[in-house]
Structure 1
Amino acid sequence: MRIGYFLSCEEYTPAQLIEQARLAQDAGFQGLWISDHYHPWNDEQGQSPFVWSIIGALSRVVTIPITTAVTCPIQRIHPAIVAQAAATSAVLHDGRFVLGVGTGEALNEHITGERWPSAAERLEMLEESIEVMRKLWDGGFVNHRGQYYTVEQAQVYTRPQTPPSVYVSAFGPKALDLAGRIADGYILTMPDGDLVRGFREAGGGDKPVQGGFKASWAPTKEEAVATAHRLWANSGVPGELSQVLPSPKHFEQVSQLVTPEQTAKAIACGPDPAAQASYLRQYEEAGFDEVYVANIGPHYAELIDLYRKEFL
């Protein structure tokens, strides 16, 4: 199983993200995930730079692969624009770029004032958006008039030799079926072996499966838990709430129901390598090909160094 590093745009400035990427590559991490948000989950996290600017900057400092985890190409940004952004990113990274996509959250996508569609409708939109992007990556002028998107005489001129791979994030059965049918790989943020098998049985076969989890390094476990709870209590928000709440303030309100004890169970906390090893083992046993670890809090250099010494 390959181990990568997850760049959290919700929590860090552009300069910090670039520094983390450089440190991660130097330590031996084999790839990067990067989140694509308009808003952070809460005001305490406090950041949210434009992901495509960061990806361009990263092409000057790293040579390991990078995947968006994940972009929502259905509402906030038209898929024809995402197709151009992904193609340019693939060129900048010499083909080492993967476009991870999903159906998104209202937190980021509602900002243009459009109605937030149902989950089933968003899946249909995602499938059509992938169709649009792949048409544009094939070259030539594209005209498309579908159920959700119109493209008129559009051509992406700056394209990589091989079109970007598209990995799909999916949890429910319908989304899993879509991923198995059309994705080049699968993205999941929980070590669920049943979902991995479901993807493979739905048509995914031996295509890559990527996963990710969060870690909070601090000199003591107590400090690590306190930092994780202050910044990422939203990780404990259950069910579909994360898809429908529209603002950081709403996440702050619902996160008050999450206890520090629940945060400690959901996030690998503290300086002990055994906490990290436990999470890595869960993903390995569930059949993942790649796993990406995201740091929480100010001690990202220490977490990266722990991985360099213990796992890489």
Structure 2
Amino acid sequence: MIRFGYKASAEQFAPAELLGYSVLAEELGFDSVFVSDHLQPWRHDGGHAPAALPWLGALAARTERVLIGTSVLTPTFRYHPAVVAQAFATLGMLAPGRVVLGVGSGESLNEVPLGLAWPDGKERFARLKESVQLIQKLWREDRVSYDGQFYRTENATIYDKPETPVPIYIGASGPAATRLAGRIADGFITTSGKGHELYTETLLPAVREGAEKAGRKLDDLDLMIEVKVSFDADLERARNDTHYWGALALSPEEKTGVEDPLEMQRRADALPVARTMTRWICSADPDEHCDRVQEYLDMGFKHLVFHAPGPDQERFLRLYADQILPNLRAAA
């Protein structure tokens, strides 16, 4: 089953405005809505950071059909895994069969400002693995006493939970966490614009390897990718819209250790449009745009969630629903 979703840009829009766009996405035929969970946005001026958990509750109440979830939430530092288990069990009861918990190992931008220590990648990976396993255990069992390396519970019970557990998707851009997704998760999340070989030679083979080690097939998982798209009849507008999201074009070396949105904004705004647009499919031609998006379907991804950088999200949603989605569905 191929699905096409909408990325609700929580870092760019105020909560009520973002909710309106997400409801419109359902009305226009998108299959899913995924929201990020940031304590602080990528930029200070004009930035937003609504709390994902209450926002998803509002979205569940305002929609009837779309799949909703986080892309991604970090269940390891400012949230205890048991709190995440409780919250998503509740969401799963409010919108049965429509909720996904997307998780990742986190970004220092969201944790360090709270005075939390930011460990190395090895520990963050270990925490992510343990937190997912604890969440799954809390959904399966009652009175869970757990004594792990990082987390503990004593006779903990999630009293209100859906009959079918909420699926967990693991977001990753490296092989270790990707293999973990294949072993223990229901889906895999990554982002576009990082080079064809990363997906075909590293990430997707790693998901397959993890799945096979757990006695599963790759088809058992939802393979989801956030596709960065800037589509408009005015090509210059499509390109210039990407400048707001300049932080995505910073190299890991340029943004590692930056926990202040003001500093992240300064570094991102210093980039020319010629560089910020490299992470996006920028196009004014529907056929050419569909061909470039189709590449991700050809790789094997089954769930494409479209993230548009422009300030006029209604314009994007209507253009995409009219000129792009029908062609993608026909091809799929």
Give the Cα separation in 2 of the matches to 1:139 and 1:278.
47
Change (3 A) 1:275 1:87: farther
Question: Unaligned stretches of 5+ in structure 1?
Answer: none
Q: Would you say the 8 A contact 1:34–1:70 is kept in 2?
A: yes
Check the 8 A contact 1:268/1:275 in 2, yes or no.
no
User: Aligned in 2, Cα 1:159/1:151: closer, same or farther, shift over 3 Å?
Assistant: same
> Which residue matches 1:87?
89
Give the one of 74, 77, 86 matched to 1:75: 77
2:211 is equivalent to residue 209 of structure 1: no
User: C-alpha separation between the residues in 2 aligned to 1:257 and 1:197?
Assistant: 36
Q: Which amino acid aligns with 2:266?
A: Q
Q: Does 1:60 align with 2:73?
A: no
**Distance apart, 1:262 and its partner CA:** 1.5
User: What's the C-alpha RMSD, in Å, of the aligned pairs?
Assistant: 1.9
Contact 1:210 1:290 in 2 (8 A): yes
Shift of 1:222: 1.8
Q: CA deviation at 1:225?
A: 2.3
Q: Deviations over 1:259-296 (max 9, x none)?
A: 21012222233544246424421211221001011222
Give the Cα separation in 2 of the matches to 1:241 and 1:150: 36
1:246 counterpart SS class: coil
Q: Does 1:31 align with 2:48?
A: no
1:71 is displaced (CA, Å) by 0.6
Q: Distance in 2 between matches of 1:264 and 1:274?
A: 19
CA 1:28–1:154 in structure 2 vs 1: closer, same or farther (change >3 Å)?
Answer: same
Number of residue-to-residue matches in the alignment: 311
Q: Is the 8 A contact 1:211 1:288 kept in 2?
A: yes
Aligned to 2:248: 235
Q: Deviations over 1:197-248 (max 9, x none)?
A: 321122162211000122335562223322321x100110113655642121
- Other structure's SS at 1:269 match: strand
CA distance in 1, matches of 2:224, 2:132: 19
Question: What is the TM-score when the length of structure 1 is the normalising length?
Answer: 0.93
Q: What does residue 6 of structure 1 align with?
A: 7
Q: Is the 8 A contact 1:90 1:96 kept in 2?
A: yes
Indicate the residue corresponding to 2:207 in structure 1.
199
Match of 1:189 among 188, 191, 211: 191
Asked if 2 retains the 8 angstrom alpha-carbon contact of 1:72 and 1:104, the reply is yes
Instruction: Indicate how the Cα distance of structure 1 residues 78 and 237 shifts in structure 2: closer, same or farther if over 3 A, else same.
Output: same
1:20 aligns with 2:45: no
SS in 2 for 1:265: helix
Contact in 1 for aligned 2:82/2:134 (Cα 8 Å): yes
8 A contact 1:98–1:164 mirrored in 2: yes
DSSP 3-state at the match of 1:115: coil
Corresponding residue for residue 100 of structure 1:
102
- Aligned with 1:287 (options 286, 294, 300): 300
Q: What is the alpha-carbon distance in structure 1 between the residues aligned to residue 39 and residue 104 of structure 2?
A: 15
Partner-residue secondary structure (3-state), 1:67:
strand
Cα drift, residue 158 of structure 1 = 1.3
Which residue of structure 2 aligns with residue 226 of structure 1? 240
Query: Separation in 2 of the partners of 1:30 and 1:89?
Result: 18
Paired residues for 1:244-259 under 5 Å: 244-256=257-269, 258-259=271-272
Larger RCO: Structure 1 or Structure 2 (Cα < 8 Å, ≥ 6 residues apart)? Answer: 1
Query: Does the C-alpha gap of structure 1 residues 248 and 275 become closer, same or farther in structure 2, counting only changes over 3 Å?
Result: farther
Whole-angstrom distance in 2 between the partners of 1:256 and 1:19: 28
Mapping 1:34-49, distance limit 5 Å: 34-49=35-50
